[in-house]
Amino acid sequence: MTKGSGIVLAIAMATLAAGGGYWLGTRGGEHGTVAQPAAAPAGAKKERKLLYYRNPMGLPDTSAVPKKDPMGMDYIPVYEGGEDGEQKDVVVPGASNQIKISTEKIQKLGVRVEAVELRPLEKILRAVGRIEPDERRLYTIAPKFEGYVERLHVNVTGQAVTKGQPLFEVYSPELVSAQREYAIAAQGMLAMKDAEGEAQRSMKQLAESSLTRLKNWDISEEQVKSLVKSGEVKRTLSFRSPVSGIVTEKKALQGMRFMPGDALYQIADLSAVWVIADVFEQDIGLVKIGAKARIKLNAYPGKAFEGRIIYVYPTLKAETRTVSVRIELANPGWSCPSATRHKC
């Protein structure tokens, strides 16, 4: 309805009221005076009778006096005629369709009012992951010559070992031959130390090549020094752990024959581990390399571990629509066997 039509309507109603009053006055003159009811005071509102207060969550619980429910929500008054004091949702006109929400719905939605403050906005991503050993901290013990396992010092998968601890002893004809060759060359060098010419240089080259051959077979520096000092050829050779950690794989059996390159042990250094988390496709754009991550484990309730994102895998798992994210996590709680009494 336009503004102009509203004005015309108001004028028509005023004219009608005037005519009606004249007609009633004329009628009253003929038949007597008509009694006019007393006009109600302007702005008077009929008072409603309060019946009780009902539970704001709709539970069958009422009260004769105002009270709060266990969640701190006020009970709603109910008046005679079935009406209650709950404020209905109202659309405020002329204010860009703003909506005024009732108090009950505000309480149900958990809306909170706080003072305005300046602070950074952040979004927390939650993902499920698994803990794996750091691939850069996995070590394989694989002899580079043919031989036999003579004796096992570490015979259980999952056993903790320290750096330099003997793992097993091997016997190899090739190893004995290489030691004997170096011993002969070393003795020849001593015998020809006063000699000059090609013979001395040849003997020195033979000793150096024999020593290099032993080092290339991963013979420890300590064992090489012992051989150089004593010149005694040993029948067996001990292989030692290159790092402190846990034996994750053991294929060596006492008396077995092995070939060059056979992996007999695998040891994992657990001083740091990886957490592989599966992040949903729509959230992967928020993941940045170098960002911090907080890890919570069911095995340690109430405790959180701080890690750092070091890699985002370039592939998407079609079945789950997730991308794997690698998080590096320090493991300071890892320690060596109790017998060593020191950190790894």
Q: Tell whether the model's pLDDT for residue 29 goes beyond 50.
A: no
Tell me the two tokens of residue 329: 């996590």
Place of tokens 């493991």: 331
Q: Tell whether the model's pLDDT for residue 163 goes beyond 80.
A: yes
For 206-231, letters b (16+ CB in 10 Å) and e give bbeebbebbeebebbeeeeeebeeee
Domain spanning 271-330, CATH class: mainly beta
Tell me the two tokens of residue 273: 């581990």
pLDDT 10s digits, 280-327:
999 999 999 999 999 999 988 989 999 999 999 999 999 999 999 999
Range list of H helices, the chain: 3-31, 103-109, 173-191, 198-216, 221-230
Q: What is the Cα–Cα distance from 220 to 113, expressed in whole angstroms?
A: 70
| CA distances for 266 relative to 5, 153, 160, 242, 247, angstroms | 94, 15, 12, 10, 6
| CA distances for 167 relative to 158, 163, 185, 248, 265, angstroms | 13, 10, 30, 13, 9
Lowest mean pLDDT among 49-58, 140-149, 328-337: 328-337
This prediction's pTM: 0.58
Tell me the two tokens of residue 104: 């009950």
Q: Sketch the domain layout of the chain as residue ranges.
A: 46-112, 137-268, 271-330
pLDDT 10s digits, 197-213:
677 777 788 888 888 88
pLDDT 10s digits, 217-271:
877 777 777 777 776 778 888 899 999 999 999 999 999 999 999 999 999 999 9
| CA distances for 219 relative to 76, 145, 175, 242, angstroms | 86, 11, 10, 12
What is the CATH code of the structural domain delimited by 137-268? 2.40.50.100
pLDDT 10s digits, 214-224:
888 877 777 77
pLDDT 10s digits, 58-111:
777 888 889 888 888 888 888 876 555 554 554 445 555 566 666 667 777 777
